[in-house]
Every structure is written in structure tokens, then in C-alpha cells.
Amino acid sequence: MGSRKSPHVVLLLYVLVCFVYQSFAIGVDTNQTAKLLVDASEASGRPISETLFGIFFEEINHAGAGGLWAELVSNRGFEAGGPNVPSNIDPWSIIGNESSLIVSTDRSSCFDRNKVALRIEVLCDSQGASSCPDGGVGIYNPGFWGMNIEKGKTYSVVLYVRSSGSINVSVSLTGSDGLQKLAAANIIASDSEVSNWTKVEVMLEAQGTNPNSRLQLTTTRKGFIWFDQVSVMPLDTYKGHGFRKDLVEMLEDLKPQFIRFPGGCFVEGEWLRNAFRWKETIGPWEERPGHFGDVWMYWTDDGIGYFEFLQLAEDLGTLPIWVFNNGISHTDQVDTSSVLPFVQEALDGLEFARGSPNSTWGSLRAAMGHPEPFDLRYVAIGNEDCGKKNYLGNYLKFYSAIKRAYPDIKIISNCDGSSRKLDHPADLYDFHVYTDAKNMFSMAHQFDHTSRSGPKAFVSEYAVTGKDAGTGSLLAALGEAGFLIGLEKNSDVVEMASYAPLFVNANNRRWNPDAIVFNSSHLYGTPSYWVQCLFNESSGATIFNATLQTNLSTSLLASAISWKNSENENSYLRIKIVNFGTNIVNLKIVVDGLEPNSINLSESTKTVLTSTNLMDENSFNEPKKVIPNRILLEKAGEDGEDMEVAISPHSFTSIDFLIESSFIRTTGADSVSVSSI
């Protein structure tokens, strides 16, 4: 490569919006014009944060229990009804009537941290005057609004049992009414084999499919029998680590650079006694006590605990961000003078994640099958606690202790530093925003004037909410797309950003909207999810100066980045445009800083997210109603550099120009800088 100065190539693209909105006046010419000037020279390029876009998981909407965690049994340890007995065993139900069996709970479990067990007194027998009904009597569990059982797949049923005599228990997976038998096996044991608590595992291969199945435990033998810690897990989970595969694969497509967990308000609790406490969520699943999440109002067995979140981050190849309680809930607070035990709990958690397998807490991690430390580099001290009476004092105690023990860990404050300097040390600060679509779009400029020195911003929760959002509308997604373009442009001060909430089980909508909607067997992404997919190459890319010349500054936003496809090593110039207005826009795009013929138009693509109505949503019936549509540019224009490319009003468009390899210079593993030869 020489040092001569090359003539700049000017690529003229006319972007025509030809889509007529059903709510617009028909036949009225409302075309407007604008020009986008892109300086794609190496001097113009700035690196985008390597961790700009990630995901935030909170246990809300049954996102984990009954969702991401593949356990099919709800209330597997009979603890959800509380420690006092007799107790509610919901959603377990009885098969039979009071003349054939009596079902209750007692505190006879062999597990010290969850003492409640289920006790069944079977009054009928296999023969005689008081014979049991066909199929026997017992209990069933419908899971989380139905278990998805699929033909040909194998399910591991694990339970603990004891009895006053010999047993013959049928373990079966059936349809919701118990009539369709999908898989079954019998547990047969002598009285000596089950006189004490005994762990039993049965593998069931499904002979049919039913997304609304249930687990049944039945018998026709008179006597007393106890059950505890009953689990049904599909063997086919993500990387064999217990996560529901189809849900994690949706996360893979986002290419997240981090995962923030486990909340959110779930971390705080309405009261501290119900906050997420990591030590209660590790070790063998049978020994975890579970807890009632009193913010989102449901029980979780904590099968997906601290260890599993760290494992999920590793499986996704992303960085974990642990949010822990700092002694503050929604209702009560620990005084700073008494907060040191909470500080020690956080330090113990860091040792569990990062410590030597010979350390006190690192050895527990190793015993769970992970002797190597996890790559935990970020922690957040609390969630949305800034301004509460004890937050600053508590925060400083945590900050000092963590920096002393782990000086490399980046610490995130709950206090917003985007408009004024923080009064305490931090590496990053939280910024949360939930608002309407118009305001979210305008917040593309939120960080334009933020100080470039000091802590970086972590936009850890953002979403359009309220009537603009419905349960996941196009309008909401467009407002968010504009906001994300602003974050891209300000990635020198915004280090991370994540949408919230991530998941919702359609049977338990505690919050609307959400990125991914699912039930026992199906799932779909909302338009907001698809917007995030169109930003999945931005982290670590190079952003160029892109200037709009228009009078549409309140309805049009654009950015330009270069990125490299890791699969085929091709390099692209990606121009993203959000048209938030109701008018057709003829946009002339002028790219400066490239050699002539450096862009291969025949291999370039255009992707558009739009629909016939702003409030259109995806659903189980129409999961692809509002999704990005990708086409080759050559199909939209007839000659090289003077093209007409269709783009709709109220739309998000992403154009990828393929840059010929002889005209680019790689600046990083996932980014390129377009330069002259």
C-alpha cells in the first residue's frame, strides 16, 4: 500500500419510501428529501465499545422458573406453600377421592434446608372390597401451564421416596386429562429398600407429543408413601447444562457481549427476607430451599441459581454481570453500621466465581463441576437504590472491600452520572429508562453532552412502555431503534446497554412488553427483539461520522459502521436509518473516503423492519408478522451507483455494503476501517 492520496468515491443512493400506511391519506404526495453524508475514511472511524450490546435476565414473568430453566415440574419440593404444615401443594393435584387416599404435607424431608415433604395415605388396595380405581390413585403435576413432551425425546424423572412398606408406583407422562399415555415406568421396591429416603431416577422416552402434558405418580397399593424433590428434565438441553434450547438459541442470535443477572427488583425483594441470596441457590438442586419472589409474586425453586447464571454466560461466550443486594429492599434497609455481613456475602460470591478450587467457596464451585474460575469482571451494587437513605454509605463499604480484594473488577453504581458528576467512585453507572416511543426516539441525543471523562454509562434497562408498546409493537421498536443509534454514536461514553425485560411466559405477564414471548412449546421475538438483532454486529465495530442534512431532524436518524463477518471474513459498511415519521423520504446517501469501485453492490443487502400498522405485533398465530425482511440491493436498483432502494415510512432499515477486501484494512477481529490506498 502506498501513501498517495486517492480521489474519494461518492456513492449516491436514493432511498425511496414507497410504502403507503393504511392510516395515511391516499393519493397525496408527501415525499420529503434528505441527504446523509458518511465519512468512511480511516481518520473518521472510532471504535465502538466491545461490550456495547448485551442482555439482561431477570426472574420476572416466569422467565427462569417455567422458562429458561428446563425443569418441567412446578413446586418440585413442595416448599411453595411455606414451612408450616399442612400446606398448599399447588399446582400439584390429587388423583382419586377422599375415600381412596389422603394427601398432606409434613416436615419429614431428609433435606435440612427444605423440610417439607408430601405424605400420601393410600386407603384403597389392589384387590378386595376397597380396591383402587383403574390406573390407581396419587398425584399429578401440570408443570408451568403444561409440560411440553415431544415424541422420541427422553426425560429424566428424579424423585425421593420412602414408605412404610413395599411400593409399586407408576411414573407416567400423560395428556392434561391423564388419558393419553406418552411414557410410563414403574418403581418397584421392597419395604427395606424404601424404609428410609431413597433417590430414584427413571428415564422415560416419549411415544407421543403433547405440549400440555403432566407428570403422574400413582399406585394401587395400600399404605403410607412419602415423596419429595420430584423433577422432570429433558435430556436435550442447551450444552447439557439444563437450559431450554430454543430460548437460548434466540439469545445466541443477539450475539450478546454480556449478561446482567439475576435482576432487577428480583435482587432487592419487596422485603429483604425475600431477596435473592446467592448462597441459597448453589449446590445440589435438591438441597436448595427456593424462595418466594415477593416483587413479581411467585415461587421459584432456584434451579437456575448463581452457578447456572455464570455457566450460561460462559456457554454463550459472554461476560457475566452480577447484581447483588446491598442490604436494601423496596421496603426495609440495613443500616450502614450493620452492613458488613452483606459485604462479606458479596466477597464470598466473588470467591465462588473466581477463587481457586482450593479456596473455601471456590471448592464448592469445583464440586459443582467447574474447577476453573468463571470470567466475572463486573458487579453492580444494588438495583435502582440510589437516593435511598443508606445507599451511599452501604455502597462505599462494598466498593472499598471489593476493590481491596479484587482491584480489577469494575463496579457499577445505581446513581445516574449522565448529567452531573457522581459524588462517589465508580467504574460505571446505571441508567434506566422506560418511556413512550416519541420520547425514547428523542433520547438518541441523551448522551451527546455527557462528560467524556469519569465513569462510563451502563444503560442496563431500557424499553418503550405504556400504550405505545402494547405487548410488543412496531411503534415501540422504532422508538428504541432511534435510541440505540444514539448509543452507538455515543459509545465512547456508553459502554453497555441492554433491553428489559428479556423473557415473558405468555401465561404470566407481569410486565409488558418483553423481547421474547414463549409458552411450553412455542416462542417468538417481538419487534423490539428484532431491532436488537439488527444491532448485533455493532459491539466492537467502527463507527464513522454520519451527518444528516434535513429538516426532518425529529423523525429521521442514521448511523454508519464498518464490521467484519466472522463466518466468511467479508467486511461491510452498514448504514442504519430509522424513519419515525409518516412521510416518504427520498434519502441521498453520500459515502466519502473510499476508492472507486470499492463497494460491491451486487453482494450488498438491504434489511427492513416495518408493517402495515404501527401497533402491529407478533403472536403465536403470526410469529413473523413484524420481522426484518432482507433482500439483495441489486434487485432494487438497475445500475451501479445511482440506485433506487425501497424503504418504508415508520421503518427501520439496515443497508450492508460489501467492501471488496483489496480496499479495506482490518482494525480488529470484528471491525474494519475503510481506507484509501
**Per-residue pLDDT reduced to its tens digit, 420-471:** 999 999 999 999 999 999 999 999 999 999 999 999 999 999 999 999 999 9
Model confidence at 644, pLDDT cuts 50, 70, 90, reads: low
Alpha carbon 518 to chain centroid, angstroms:
12
CB 255 within 8 A of CB 536: yes
Average pLDDT of the chain, as a whole number: 91
Higher pLDDT, 41 or 21: 41
Residues 323-366 have pLDDT tens digits of 999 999 999 999 999 999 999 999 999 999 999 999 999 999 99
In this predicted structure, what is the pLDDT of residue 126?
87
- Secondary structure (3-state) at 593: coil
Give residue 665's pLDDT.
40
* Residue 205 pLDDT greater than 90, yes or no: yes
**Can you say how many angstroms the Cα of residue 188 is from the centroid of all Cα atoms in its chain?**
42
Contact 378, 404 (CB under 8 A): no
Per-residue confidence (pLDDT) for residue 639, from 0 to 100: 38
Q: Which tens digits make up the pLDDT trace of 31-73?
A: 788 889 999 999 999 999 999 999 999 999 999 999 999 999 9
- pLDDT of 384 strictly over 80: yes
Of 18, 9, 7, 12, which Cα lies nearest the Cα of 36? 12
Report residue 19 as a C-alpha cell: 410504502
- Stretch 602-624: mean pLDDT: 95
Q: What per-residue confidence (pLDDT) applies to 643?
A: 55
**How high is the pLDDT of residue 660?**
84
Per-residue pLDDT at 646: 58
Q: What is the mean pLDDT of residues 398-412?
A: 98
Closest CA to 289 of 113, 493, 49: 113
What pLDDT is stored for residue 588 in this prediction? 85
φ, ψ for residue 156, nearest 5 deg: -95, 115
> pLDDT tens digit string along 495-521?
999 999 999 999 999 999 999 999 999
If you average pLDDT over residues 200-210, what whole number do you get?
98
Instruction: Check residues 200 and 597 and name the one with the higher pLDDT.
Output: 200
**Residue that wins the pLDDT comparison between 7 and 231:** 231
- pLDDT of the residue at 634: 59
pLDDT band at 8 (very low <50, low <70, confident <90, very high): very low
The rounded distance, in Å, linking the Cα atoms of 546 and 377 is 33
- What lies within 8 Å, CB to CB, of 480 at 6+ separation is 440, 462, 463, 464, 499, 528, 531
pLDDT greater at residue 16 or residue 564: 564
pLDDT band, residue 586 (cuts 50/70/90): confident
Query: Sign of the CA dihedral 530, 532, 538, 539?
Result: negative
The per-residue pLDDT for 579 is 94
Q: What is the average per-residue pLDDT within 625-639?
A: 72
Q: Has residue 641 got a pLDDT over 80?
A: no
Residue 672: pLDDT band (50, 70, 90) is very low
pLDDT class of 14 with cuts at 50, 70, 90: very low
Is 26 a residue whose pLDDT tops 60? Answer: no
Buried b (16+ CB within 10 A) or exposed e, 31-43: ebebebbbbbbbe
3 state SS of 48: coil
pLDDT at 661: 64
The residue ranking higher by pLDDT, 243 or 645, is: 243
Q: Considering the chain, what percentage of its residues have pLDDT values greater than 70?
A: 91
Distance CA 73, CA 62 (A): 13
* 554 band by pLDDT with thresholds 50, 70 and 90: confident
What local confidence, expressed as pLDDT, does residue 499 receive? 98
In the chain the domains, ranked by start, together with CATH numbers, are 32-51+541-659 (2.60.40.1180), 93-234 (2.60.120.260), 257-293+303-414 (3.20.20.80)
DSSP 582: S
Rounded Cα distance, 484 and 559, in Å: 10
- What integer is the mean pLDDT of 200-226? 98
Chain centroid to CA 416 = 23
* pLDDT attached to residue 238: 98
3-state secondary structure of 175: coil
